[in-house]
Amino acid sequence: MEKFGIYIHWPFCLSKCPYCDFFSLPAASWDEKTLESAYIRDLKRIPIRTVTSLFFGGGTPSLMSPRLVHRLITVIRDNFPVASEMEISLEANPDAIDKLKMEAFHAAGINRLSLGIQALNQKDLKFLGRRHTLETALQRIEEMKSVFYNFSFDLIYARPGQTLQAWQNELEEALSFNPPHLSLYQLTIEEETPFARKNIDLPDDEIARSLYEWTLERMEKADCPFYEVSNFARSGFECRHNLLYWEGDDYAGIGPAAHGRLGLIATENPKNLSSWLKGETITTLLSPFERQEEKLIMGLRLKKGISDKGLSPINIQKAIKKGWLKQEKGRIFATREGFMMLNQLILELA
């Protein structure tokens, strides 16, 4: 079946994390009926395709009411053909959900929950600007396990002062919950974030490399290997929706600041709530080269790589000689060294 997903962006957060560069707004009071009408308007603009995945992202989508989530899922099921086992994910923060709300989301149709834990010690939770305590984080993981068969949680590593031993202890604790999926991100300092305005002393390249290499090895032993540079899953639990992005498939973006790709058409909703509520959006026709470049940038993040069709054989050979790339049966794959040098590898091939 041809894959097609819908991404619904909920922009509100209880507070802005200092490392985050996603579009979000303070969780002041909102008119849920007004937002509901705008989301439904956007959904009814989408060309009719069979929907294979739906993703509520943000922001903090767990601030949504289960009633609104159920309403939007119902609109999609009523207006689009859907895959029999459509993946429906929702992102949550530990301070913006509890077991009762998890159960309500599950009843509303959510079948995959992704929990933003980020750290398993109190000191680093505070450093990362997280509102929840370690006790709350651990409780929410246990609650999530009791409600959802398919779930994931995030951790950020390569934090200031973090040693290999400290990260090993933290990841071992995460694995003790037997998660089917983990998202493990190295801390990066993004422009125009509060962290960018501070002198954050990240671990040097050698330490960051050792953290990543050990993570790959440990997750492989846990039968939860990486399938994308920062994402790890037991077989069958890979996030189908995020694979749409990395594999270059089509998806529709709903909500303020949401992006979409429909063939060569790129859509972008405004990063302004009032403008989005008025129905404004930007549509751009990409050239085949631009779309191919996007697929290259996203696809090389995957363990299984991408097709070598349309790429320069000379550039491929240069990357192979540097030890960054492997080529086999019409596909190219980043080596372990290539994943360490992913940005440079993409530039080499572009």
pLDDT at site 343: 82
| pLDDT top residue among 337 and 4 | 4
> Average pLDDT of 207-229?
96
**What is the average pLDDT across 13-38?**
85
pLDDT of res. 201: 85
* Positions of E strands within the chain: 4-10, 12-13, 25-26, 51-58, 82-92, 112-118, 150-157, 181-186, 226-228, 231-233, 250-254, 259-262, 265-268, 282-285, 306-307, 325-328, 331-334
pLDDT at 313: 85
For residue 342, pLDDT over 90 is answered with no
Give the least confident one: 15-29, 148-162, 209-223, 263-277. 15-29
Q: Which is the CATH superfamily of the domain at 4-244?
A: Aldolase class I (3.20.20.70)
Please report the pLDDT score of residue 333 as a whole number: 87
Please calculate the CA angle 220-221-223 and round it to the nearest 5 degrees. 65
pLDDT at 153: 97
Instruction: Tell me which DSSP letter residue 98 carries.
Output: -
**pLDDT > 80? residue 67:** yes
- Average pLDDT, rounded, for the chain: 93
pLDDT tens sequence across 279-338? 999 999 999 888 888 888 898 899 998 888 878 888 889 888 999 999 988 898 888 888
pLDDT at 125: 92
The whole-angstrom separation of Cα 302 and Cα 296 is: 10
Give span(s): CATH 3.20.20.70, the chain: 4-244
> Is the preceding peptide bond at 59 cis, omega within 30 degrees of 0?
yes
Q: Does residue 266 have a pLDDT over 90?
A: yes
pTM of the model: 0.94
> Is pLDDT above 90 for 235?
yes
Interhelix angle for 240-247 vs 288-299, to 10°?
130
For residue 29, pLDDT beyond 80: no
- Which of 186, 216, 183, 157 has the alpha carbon at shortest distance from 337? 216
What does the pLDDT read at residue 340?
A: 82
**Rounded average pLDDT over 159-181:** 96
Look at residue 271 in the predicted model and tell me its pLDDT.
Answer: 93
- pLDDT (average), residues 265-282: 95
pLDDT score recorded for residue 229: 94
Q: State pLDDT tens for residues 102-138.
A: 999 999 999 999 999 999 999 999 988 888 899 999 9
Q: CA angle, corner 46, sides to 40 and 52, nearest 5?
A: 95
Write down the pLDDT at residue 193: 83
pLDDT: is 191 or 227 the higher one?
Answer: 227
pLDDT at 210 over 80: yes
- Structure tokens given for 81: 């053909």
Q: Looking at this protein, which amino acid is placed at residue 9?
A: H
Q: Hunting for tokens 């974030």 — which residue is that?
A: 193
**Nearest-angstrom CA–CA distance, 212 and 109:** 35
For 141, the token pair is 């993981």
Instruction: Give the strand pairing for 181-186 and 150-157.
Output: parallel
Higher pLDDT: 304 or 341? It is: 304
Give the model's confidence band at 20: pLDDT under 50 very low, under 70 low, under 90 confident, else very high: confident
Rounded to whole angstroms, the Cα distance separating 16 from 228 reads: 26
CA proximity to 333, closest of 299, 292, 290? 299
Residue 213 bridge partners (DSSP): none
Reported as a pLDDT band with limits 50, 70 and 90, residue 34 is: very high
